[in-house]
Amino acid sequence: MENLIELESIEKYYGRNRVLDDVSVSFQPGVTGLLGPNGAGKSTLIKVILGLVRISSGTGNVMGLDLLESARAIRSLIGYMPEDDSYIAGLTGVELVRYAACLSGMSALEGLRRAHEILDFCDVKQERYRNVETYSTGMRQKTKVAQAIVADPPILILDEPTSGLDPEAREAMLNRVKYLSSKHGKTVIISTHILRDVQQICDHVVIMANGKMKMADRLENVHRPSTPNLFLTVKGDMDLFRKTLTRNGVDSKLDEDKLLQIITSDGALPMEVWDSATQSDVQVQSVVPAKNSLETVFREAVGEDVGGD
């Protein structure tokens, strides 16, 4: 698959502090979740892609444009939604979005038309005529997305797009992002702490910690465990069943949720399990293939305890 953004051995120092350490990663079409604890270097990586900070070493390109030589051209290909509140005091919502359109190169009239169109899409109604300083968090998030997509860039970088949103608004925001990716071919990078958001809409996951790239893969691969185990729910004498399994040569262990984990080599349920069930007179109620949870993968990748949402 074509890589829209390619970074190779990127290093970035602030003084003596190395904030990006030999980062090599590529971003493909679809939605990519950029995960990492605070201080992992996600924001710096985004700023490197946008050409807002100069890299200390390494190379990279965005849609074939060199990171160092074509920063302005690269920014015209990317719509960026910052995590922090970022607005121009004294402007209404529609004026702000029109301003973003004009800064991207649209004429004032076309910018205004487009601003209204995008604000409709982002579900900003009459509030668009109010000063942005008076907006609620949810309204600001919508306006920030609107200013990022108003110039129709092929790449979107959204920093914590669902932060501070109520469940309904969060769902709408995620649907909007998914829609832009699936129906309009946008390549979206979402930097977030909320693993559930990534789980819900992302095709790829990139995990960073301490300025290093820890993992970059498709979400389905991330979920696939290293050993294809199975989880069984059984009704009956669990201890007897486990003893019988051991006697029949099947490895098993009981997890915290009282689910019986069968350790297999190929993901198929061995016949011995059925034999053991018959012998110990238990009923097998369900067989579910084991999946790595994103939270587990994330914890393993960053090597420390972190709280998911």
Partner 1 sequence: MSVAINNLGYRNWEGRLGSPWLRWLTIAMVGIQIVFKSQWIKRLMFLAWGPAIGVGGIFFFYEQYVENRDTIQVGIASSPRSQKQFGEMLQLVSSSSQAEVISTAMSKPPNEARGYVWSFVLVSMLRVSQGWMVLVMIGLIAPSLIAKDIRSRAHLFYFSKPITRVDYLVGKFSIVAFFVGFVTLLPVLALYALGVLLSPDALDVIKSTWFLPFRVTVACLIYIVPCCLIGLALSSLTTESRFAGFAWFMVWILGFVGYNIVNNISALGNGMPADDSLWRIISLYDCLTFLQSWVMDLETNHAYAMKLLFFVLLLCLICYFTIMRKISTPLRA
Task: Mention every residue, 6+ apart, whose C-beta is less than 8 A from residue 19.
Answer: 12, 13, 41, 44, 211
DSSP-assigned states of every residue in 198-248? HHHH-SEEEEEETTEEEEEEEHHHHHS-SS--EEEEEES-HHHHHHHHHHT
The number of CA neighbours under 13 Å toward the Cβ of 44 is 25
Alpha-carbon span 140 to 300, nearest angstrom: 34
Binding to partner 1, residues 67-106 (CB under 8 A): 72-73, 75-76, 78, 80, 82, 84-91, 95, 99-100, 102-106
In the complex with partner 1, the residue whose CB is nearer, 113 or 224, is: 113
Query: 52 or 271, CB closer to partner 1?
Result: 52
Please answer whether residues 49 and 5 qualify as being in contact, where contact means their C-beta atoms are separated by less than 8 angstroms. Answer: yes
Nearer of residues 35 and 102 to partner 1, judged by Cβ: 102
In the complex, what is the shortest distance from the CB of residue 82 to partner 1, in angstroms, rounded to a whole number? 4
Per CB under 8 A, contacts with partner 1 among 25-54 are 47, 50, 52-53
Q: The dihedral of CA 189, 192, 197, 200: what is its sign?
A: positive
For partner 1, the closer of residues 118 and 262 by Cβ is: 118
Strand, helix or coil at 269?
coil
Where in 180-199 is the site for partner 1 (CB under 8 A)? 180, 183-184
- The stretch near partner 1 (CB under 8 A) out of 59-67, 175-183, 236-244, 283-291 is 175-183
Binding site for partner 1 (CB under 8 A): 14, 47, 50, 52-53, 72-73, 75-76, 78, 80, 82, 84-91, 95, 99-100, 102-108, 110, 114, 117-118, 120-121, 123, 125, 133, 147-149, 151-152, 172, 179-180, 183-184
